[in-house]
Amino acid sequence: MIRLTLTLVLVIGVLSSTSQSLRFEIQSAHTKCIAEDIKSNSMTVGKYNVVNPNDGHPLPESHKLTVRVTSAYGNSYHYADRVDSGQFAFTAAEAGDYMACFWAVDHSPQTTVTIDFDWRTGVQAKDWSNVAKKGSVDVMELELKKLYDTVSSIHQEMFYLRWPGLVGFRCLYALLLLACNYGT
């Protein structure tokens, strides 16, 4: 029983994704693209900004970006030209790999631009602190809403990943049995 509980906690932890900020560098006149697999009707938010190499001074003109976010079918969801920061938000119309591409402006001599990028989808895309402020809900109700959204997301993911012939918990149970018996 303990083994089953631990395995279930592990599977739930794997299925509920976490979101972390990403920091990367681009040389001037180069491009870097980042892809995210998003299910249809999932809410998505992103924020990006150029890290200032000289704290306390204005950002140099050589540290500007062009940013475009597109779907797997080429539909554009965000475009910004020669900016140092920005954000985007949309609900995915179709499932697939969405791509955020960053172009650093051409500059001589060549410079390196450092970018902080945070891309969240699904449950992680909701700004729970603003939900609490706007709705003036108490802490317990807010936690219940978070849990409900997490459970709904896991439930949808189970149906998304199910095997033919296995439905819902039967699929999860089969995966748990395989995981538990694999090491023995």
Class of the CATH-defined domain 21-121:
mainly beta
Q: In angstroms, rounded to a whole number, what is the distance separating the alpha carbons of residues 27 and 30?
A: 6
Who has greater pLDDT, 1 or 59? 59
What is the per-residue pLDDT across 43-102, written as a single tens digit (0 to 9) for each? 888 999 999 988 888 988 889 999 999 999 999 999 999 999 999 988 888 999 999 999
Q: Where in the chain is the domain with CATH 2.60.120.380?
A: 21-121
- For residues 48-85, one letter each, b for 16 or more C-beta atoms within 10 angstroms of the residue's C-beta and e for the rest, the string is bbbeeeeeeeebeebbbbebbbbbeeeeebbebeeebe
Q: What is the mean pLDDT of residues 37-46?
A: 88
Residue 165 has pLDDT above 70, yes or no: no
Q: In angstroms, rounded to a whole number, what is the distance separating the alpha carbons of residues 155 and 15?
A: 10
